[in-house]
């Protein structure tokens, strides 16, 4: 459970408490205003989001749902915001989705509706849309609203005093609530309980060294001294999985979510790690996507765990909902003449 102190130290409470109240008032008013002018996108739409800041497991769920829809015969388009992307660059989630889902189009833009419209105007083909981090985008009508919610401290508060974008009562808007177990049992928030639960599982490791990449079993980390580079919102579950694989973490710099790596920083870090006899760096796929684009020299191995989601403890509600959604896509196509272009 996360502390109700939020991302800032407790001594800042004199400032963060009133800011939290102000933030909540502004966000609630903004979301209500968005809801009053909600518009429908040109294809059936699924939103996948959360109510808290930081990593909740949302991005792996986006990719899992995209794969399920493809298996059901659908052709999804993923739309991201491109958070913290610089001009002329693409965001972390876009890079990660494109690498993991070849053949599935991914577009990004602060204005999601405009990004979707541009995609179709330029001849893009898709029969449904997945909004990545769309729960607060209430100006867009969604046919299936999914929220990924980890274990929430019941005393947590709104940003910046706590970690919450919205209070748990907002979950009443969701059609489905998904819960990453992280070794814990499901809990209830307000009047809602999780629809389905999932666990994160490593299938294998991608190891890059000497300019080449190879696949290794997770046992590759057993007994190794490693550095942990994870610029994600919630590091503890990832760290626990590295330790469970038998690695000894001797360096774990505090990296902010969506951190920007530089060649200078990477070179300095690698030099100090080599002096400390660190054998490899373990990074998330999101981090590796940025690290690999920087120019630096190192004899260290870089390891990226390959993640899959285990739904064996789920109730099957998500699977049922996606099948109904896929059937609805077929109905839309039949009513529009059976082509993506006219849907």
The string over 147-163, giving b where at least 16 C-beta atoms fall within 10 Å of a residue's C-beta and e elsewhere, is: bbbbbbbeebbbbbbbb
Overall domain count for the chain:
2
Q: Is residue 342 part of a domain?
A: no
Sequence-distant (6+) residues with CB within 8 A of 69 are: 76, 128, 130, 322, 325, 326
Q: Is residue 162 part of a domain?
A: yes
Residue 191 shares a structural domain with residue 209: no
Q: Is residue 141 part of a domain?
A: yes
What domain range is 275 assigned to? 202-308
User: Distance between CA atoms of 182 and 19, rounded to whole angstroms?
Assistant: 31
Q: Is residue 103 part of a domain?
A: yes
Residue 187 shares a structural domain with residue 234: no
Q: What is the pLDDT along the chain (343 residues), one digit of tens a residue?
A: 444 456 666 667 778 888 888 989 999 999 999 999 999 999 999 999 999 876 678 999 999 999 999 999 999 999 999 876 666 788 889 999 999 999 999 999 999 999 999 999 999 999 999 999 999 999 999 999 999 988 766 667 888 888 889 988 899 999 999 988 865 544 555 556 778 999 999 999 999 998 899 999 999 999 999 999 999 878 888 999 999 999 999 999 999 888 999 999 999 999 999 999 999 999 999 999 899 999 998 999 999 999 999 999 888 999 999 999 999 997 776 676 554 444 4
Residue 38 shares a structural domain with residue 182: yes
Residue 113 shares a structural domain with residue 261: no
Residue 188 shares a structural domain with residue 208: no
Residue 188 shares a structural domain with residue 250: no
Q: Is residue 5 part of a domain?
A: no
Residue 190 shares a structural domain with residue 295: no
Residue 325 is part of a domain; what is its CATH number? 3.40.50
CA distances from 262 to 96, 247, 285 (A): 19, 26, 17
Residue 144 shares a structural domain with residue 124: yes
Residue 29 shares a structural domain with residue 82: yes
Q: Is residue 176 part of a domain?
A: yes
User: Distance between CA atoms of 92 and 11, rounded to whole angstroms?
Assistant: 32
Residue 170 shares a structural domain with residue 234: no
Q: Is residue 275 part of a domain?
A: yes
Q: What is the DSSP string of 147-177?
A: EE--PPPTT--BTTTSSBSS-GGGGGG-SEE
Structure tokens at 285: 């796929």
pLDDT at position 336 is 63
Residue 141 shares a structural domain with residue 47: yes
Residue 80 shares a structural domain with residue 128: yes
User: Distance between CA atoms of 249 and 241, rounded to whole angstroms?
Assistant: 11
């Amino acid at each position: 459970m996360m502390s109700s102190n939020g991302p800032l130290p407790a001594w800042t409470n004199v400032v963060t408490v009133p800011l939290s109240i102000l933030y909540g008032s502004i966000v609630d008013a903004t979301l209500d205003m968005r809801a009053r002018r909600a518009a429908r996108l040109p294809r059936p739409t699924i939103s996948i989001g959360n109510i808290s800041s930081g990593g909740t497991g949302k991005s792996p769920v986006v990719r899992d749902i995209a794969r399920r829809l493809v298996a059901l015969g659908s052709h999804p388009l993923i739309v991201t915001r491109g958070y913290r992307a610089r001009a002329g660059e693409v965001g972390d989630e876009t890079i990660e989705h494109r690498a993991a889902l070849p053949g599935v189009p991914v577009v990004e833009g602060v204005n999601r509706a405009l990004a979707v419209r541009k995609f179709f105007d330029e001849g893009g083909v898709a029969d449904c849309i997945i909004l990545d981090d769309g729960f607060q985008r209430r100006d867009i009508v969604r046919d299936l609203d999914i929220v990924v919610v980890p274990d929430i401290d019941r005393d947590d508060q709104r940003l910046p005093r706590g970690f919450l974008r919205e209070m748990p009562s907002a979950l009443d808007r969701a059609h489905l609530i998904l819960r990453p177990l992280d070794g814990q049992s499901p809990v209830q928030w307000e009047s809602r309980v999780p629809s389905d639960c999932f666990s994160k599982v490593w299938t294998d490791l991608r190891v890059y060294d000497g300019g080449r990449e190879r696949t290794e079993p997770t046992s590759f980390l057993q007994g190794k001294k490693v550095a942990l580079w994870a610029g994600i919102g919630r590091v503890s579950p990832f760290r626990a999985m590295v330790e469970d694989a038998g690695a000894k973490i001797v360096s774990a710099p505090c990296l902010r979510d969506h951190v920007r790596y530089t060649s200078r920083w990477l070179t300095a870090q690698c030099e100090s790690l080599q002096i400390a006899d660190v054998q490899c760096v373990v990074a998330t796929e999101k981090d590796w996507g940025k690290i690999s684009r920087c120019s630096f020299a190192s004899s260290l191995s870089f390891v990226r765990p390959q993640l899959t989601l285990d739904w064996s403890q789920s109730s099957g509600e998500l699977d049922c909902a996606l099948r109904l959604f896929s059937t609805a896509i077929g109905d839309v196509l039949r009513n529009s003449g059976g082509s993506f272009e006219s849907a």
